[in-house]
């Protein structure tokens, strides 16, 4: 990650991801941006970092998985935390967004 303010960097990338793929919700764009920037690779960390309900993060991770942007790496049954990674379509979208 660069020397820029992480929150500003996240916000800027979220805007570029949303512009590159308008069908994504703002939260879905933020999930992708956060994993790309190394800020969160699981649903609970993402939700905590952005001050969101974990259920909202889980919903968006599920939608991104169905859309082919993410894959589930593992689930923690006790905490309901979902660990995820980018699929090639997610990488491609982030590359397009970062290039703009």
Domains and CATH numbers, the chain: 6-99 (1.10.10.10)
Predicted local confidence at residue 6, as pLDDT: 82
User: pTM for the full model?
Assistant: 0.92
Predicted local confidence at residue 61, as pLDDT: 98
Instruction: Please write the tens of the pLDDT for every residue from 3-53.
Output: 668 889 999 999 999 999 999 999 999 999 999 999 999 999 999 999 999
Predicted local confidence at residue 2, as pLDDT: 47
Rounded-to-integer distance, Cα 56 and Cα 58, Å: 5
Q: What does the block give as tokens for 48?
A: 């905590």
Q: What does the block give as tokens for 89?
A: 């379509």
Interior/surface letters 58-76, b for 16+ CB within 10 angstroms, e for the rest: bebbebbbebebbeeeeee
Residue bearing the bigger pLDDT, 2 or 64: 64
């Amino acid at each position: 990650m660069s020397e820029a303010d992480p929150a500003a960097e996240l916000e800027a990338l979220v805007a570029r991801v949303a512009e590159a793929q308008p069908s994504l919700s703002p939260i879905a764009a933020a999930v992708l941006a956060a994993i790309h920037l190394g800020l969160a690779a699981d649903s609970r960390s993402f939700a905590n970092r952005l001050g969101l309900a974990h259920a909202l993060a889980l919903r968006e991770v599920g939608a991104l998985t169905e859309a082919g942007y993410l894959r589930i790496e593992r689930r923690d049954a006790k905490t309901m935390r979902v660990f995820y990674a980018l699929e090639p379509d997610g990488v491609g979208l982030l590359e397009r967004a970062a290039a703009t």
